[in-house]
Amino acid sequence: MINCKEASEFTIKKSKGKLSLKERFQLWLHLSICGVCKLFAIQSKWLDKVSSRIEISEQFSTEEKETLKRNLSDIKS
């Protein structure tokens, strides 16, 4: 029987299809009796979904753009 630490490792590998049949069975068995690891599995999956939407938008100020343009044209010439 695998322990919780292993179960959490398996959970993460499983999301990328990296578990063998035996490991999948071991994980299934563990999750069927361990509520905390089951919770971890649900949260982990949810975290994957949310993380793929991380996007920070940011802009250059007008001055920064002017400097960038100047620096760029220095190189060109």
Shortest spacing between CB 33 and other proteins, in angstroms: 13
Shortest spacing between CB 70 and other proteins, in angstroms: 10
Shortest spacing between CB 20 and other proteins, in angstroms: 14
Give the length of the chain.
77
Residues that bind other proteins (CB under 8 A): 3-6, 8-9, 12-13, 16, 18, 36-37, 39-40, 43-44, 46-48, 50-60, 64-65, 68-69, 71-72, 75-76
Q: Is the dihedral of CA 9, 15, 16, 21 positive or negative?
A: positive
